Amino acid sequence: MKNVILEILQSVSPIPLEEHALERPAYAHLGDFALPCFPFAKILRKSPAIIAEEIAASIQHPSIRKAEAVNGYVNIFLDRNGVSNDILHTIVTQGSTFGSSTEGNDGVVTIDLSSPNIAKPFSMGHLRSTVIGNSIALLLEKSGFKPVKINYIGDWGTQFGKLLTAYRKWGNEQDVRQAPIETLLKLYIQFHEEAEQDASLNDEGRAAFKALEDGDADALALWKWFKTESLKEFQRIYDLLGVEFDSYNGEAYYNDKMLPVVEELEEKGLLVESDGAQVVDLGETMPPCLIKKSDGATLYATRDLAAAIDRKNTYDFVKSIYVVGNEQSLHFTQVKHVLSKMGYAWGEEMHHVPFGLILQGGKKMSTRKGKIVLLEQVLTEAIELAQRTIEEKNPTLANQSDVAEAVGVGAILFSDLKQHRKHDIEFNLESMLQVEGETGPYIQYTNARAHSVLRKAGMVDSFEVTEVNDYEWETIKLLEQFPQVVKRATDELDPSIIAKYAVDLAQAFNSFYGNVKVLSDTTQLPYRTALIHSVTIVLTEAMRLLGMQAPQEM
Ligand code: ARG
């Protein structure tokens, strides 16, 4: 609608208008759209009031009921019935495809997400990456791109030499089988503690990693086993979150793909020696990018270079996204710079999508030492809390455990996604699970409430809008904006735009439903049923884009 109005105004405006020229007034008596004419006064050498009057007088369009000039603004009032009829019929006909577009032209976008490290707990940071990355993938898909979700497992690096050494010295098979990540983490911590006393352990660790890189059968077998056991634990979390991946090619996958990259860097004359290591110099503004250590071992950056090139060759992406915490910004800037020095123009299409920390009591939630927050525990706790609420408030509900899972997980997803990803977020399970306020359960509950009205009213085959009150109009205007909201969220790779929109729509619906006696007024029932049906369609779709489930009863 905004674009339509803009076009109409364009045809009568003496000067070109930009999209942001058109405002949405906060108060209904000021119209549905308003065009402030102050910026044109200088160019046209007329007062804003006169310009507004001239424009208002020349507007004529079936979608516009009236245009008023007030204090230098043109206030535009839409034809509520016509617009509502159009939009509700569109939504009911299109269903969940409402808001979809082909804008992406099937272009492939690779998304590096989740990427936990084996033998280490799945951290809050990995949760954020998983949840944000998954939502971005869903948004891209809705906008006509082909997302490819890559879980770049951290399964390579010098730390595995240390872990192998620690396991051989102090570990045993049974403990690992029973609680893989917990046991391996303990061994890793023990390694560091003992290495403080006995520095020769570090040499042993380095040698073990070298053996692993060189393909030593014994080392490889142990490493593989650690990996399998760790992945089993991660999988439980992915199942709870309902996230799937297109590829699990992690760091180890690039073990034999790095040599060609190092050679290419050498051929292009980009490698220089620094303290025995091989680096790419990146000038004054940032530290050099480390490619190879003095003992020949490769580094995180080397693997990311190989992975970036491999992804371009495999997928021919139009865009390559990395959903990784703020703290790795320098790393990704360096990788991009090296690619550009290598002459790869597509390096420009690589985007680090950073996010902030999850805090508890103002401090980073840490996975180090004693403060292990096992994410699975957090998720289980959320589900249990949801379960208890259901037992209390709706004891006869069917599928209680499914609903509890949808609500518990939805609460965590939503509290993460409702804020701009760059912000740090405070973790508080109780407040995430509130059914009031800007929470996942609030959106889910609103949708379930709408479904319950639909069950009572019954579905309609045809309807005609003949009268629209202010509550209905606010809701319909929001419904109408959904496609633009999806577009903006996709363009900005920002799921919080969808989350905020879902809150607005849920609030508008609740105030409509609280103020209008829907079921008792039979003349308006078909139209209002269509309106409520449209609300469920759009709320459900918004939740789906956030990775949340939308139970019809709760
Ligand atoms: N495994 C890394 C970590 O936990 C994140 C990997 C991010 N992706 C990448 N391509 N570097 O810190």
Q: Which tens digits make up the pLDDT trace of 409-436?
A: 999 999 999 998 888 888 787 787 887 8
Q: Which two tokens mark 472?
A: 């209905």
Q: 115 CA distance to ligand 1 centroid (A)?
A: 5
pLDDT digits (tens, 9 = 90+) for 347-385: 999 999 999 888 877 777 655 444 445 678 888 989 999
Q: Which fold has domain 2-78?
A: Gyrase A; domain 2 (3.30.1360)
Cα of 153 from ligand 1 centre, angstroms: 7
Angle at 518 between CA 514 and CA 522, to 5 degrees: 160
Token couple for 48: 């804003």
Q: Which two tokens stand for residue 371?
A: 């403060």
Centroid of ligand 1 to alpha carbon of 424 (angstroms)? 19
**What is the residue with the minimal CA distance to atom 4 of ligand 1?**
116
Note whether ipTM > 0.95 here. Answer: yes
Whole-number pLDDT of residue 371: 45
The burial of 174, by beta-carbon neighbours within 10 Å (0-12 exposed, 13-18 middle, 19 or more buried), is given as exposed
Q: Does residue 322's CB lie within 6 angstroms of at least one atom of ligand 1? A: yes
pLDDT tens-digit profile of 43-59?
Answer: 889 999 999 999 999 99
Query: Which one of 150, 328, 333 would you pick to mutate in the ligand 1 pocket, going by the greatest count of ligand atoms within 8 A of its CB?
Result: 328
324-328 mean pLDDT: 95
Sorted by where each begins, the domain ranges of the chain are 2-78, 157-242, 375-545
Cα–Cα distance, 160 to 226 (Å, whole number): 10
**C-beta separation of 144 from 106 below 8 A:** yes
Q: What is the CATH number of domain 375-545?
A: 1.10.730.10
Taking the CA of residue 307 as reference, the ligand 1 atom at the shortest distance is: 10
Residue 235 pLDDT level (bands cut at 50, 70, 90): very high
Angle at the Cα of 480 (from 479 to 481), degrees rounded to 5? 90
Q: What's the 289 CA to ligand 1 centre distance in angstroms?
A: 16
Cβ 324 under 6 angstroms from ligand 1: yes
Residue 201 has pLDDT above 50, yes or no: yes
Strand order in the sheet with 363-364: 363-364, 358-360, 425-426
**516 phi and psi angles, rounded to 5 deg:** -120, 130
Looking at per-residue pLDDT, the higher value among 365 and 493 belongs to: 493
From 118-127, 372-381, 389-398, 481-490, the region with the lowest mean pLDDT: 372-381
Distance set, CA 329 to CA 124, 246, 286, 325, 356 (Å): 18, 25, 12, 8, 11
**Element containing residue 364 per DSSP (H, E):** strand 363-364
Mean pLDDT of 455-484: 93
Q: Which residues pair with 109 in a beta bridge?
A: 147, 319
CA of 319 to the centre of ligand 1 (A): 18
Whether ligand 1 lies within 6 angstroms of the CB of 115 is answered as: yes
Q: What does the pLDDT look like over 265-318, one tens digit per residue?
A: 999 999 999 989 999 999 999 999 999 988 777 789 999 999 999 999 999 999
Higher pLDDT, 75 or 256: 75
Angle at 486 between CA 98 and CA 471, to 5 degrees: 70
pLDDT digit string, tens, across residues 80-109: 999 999 999 999 999 999 999 999 999 999
As a whole-number percent, the residues of the chain with pLDDT over 70 amount to 98
Ligand 1: distance of its center to the CA of 410 in Å? 25
H helices of 31-76, in order, are 38-44, 48-58
